[in-house]
């Protein structure tokens, strides 16, 4: 079963409740969570004029192929109440595929590994908590190394 790492973030409403609802819905959609990080409160990235986020990362197994996994994550976001706003804007929930095994995928609708992962402490810190030795398949560096380079 492929191992995936999924980033979870929320900065609207009950942020912790939203993240925990995402965990429950991932499980209900056949995504088997092996580990999850702690919740981290982080400042917004990209668009600064918005509330702070709660972020976490899960490591999970899934039989879903990458594009179907993305569709499932979008469906979960909608169930929790996400409404489209603007790029890097506030959101009730955000679910991102960070890694899918060691797959490198570059399509118009999906890029794996997540293309900005190495720039985002709010992703790398919780990811390093649960998978510090995971090697980025493009950059050939561990999550721990990537985190040390930015922070």
Known catalytic residues?
82, 91, 94, 96
List alpha helices for 11-131, DSSP H: 15-28, 66-80, 121-130
CA distance 38 to 54: 10
Closest CA to 73 of 98, 93, 95: 95
């Amino acid at each position: 079963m492929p191992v995936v790492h999924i980033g979870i973030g929320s900065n609207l409403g009950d942020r912790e409740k939203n993240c925990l609802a995402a965990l429950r819905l991932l499980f209900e959609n056949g995504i088997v969570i092996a580990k999850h990080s702690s919740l981290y409160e982080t400042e917004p990235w990209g668009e600064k004029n918005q509330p702070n986020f709660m972020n976490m990362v899960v490591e999970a197994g899934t039989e879903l192929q990458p594009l179907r996994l993305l569709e499932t994550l979008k469906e979960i976001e909608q169930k929790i109440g996400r409404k489209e706003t603007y790029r890097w804007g506030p959101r009730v929930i955000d679910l991102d595929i960070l890694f899918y095994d060691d797959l490198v995928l570059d399509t118009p609708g999906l890029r794996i590994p997540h293309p900005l992962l190495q720039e985002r402490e709010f992703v790398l810190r919780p990811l390093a908590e649960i998978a510090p030795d995971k090697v980025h398949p493009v950059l050939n560096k561990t999550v721990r190394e990537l985190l040390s380079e930015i922070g």
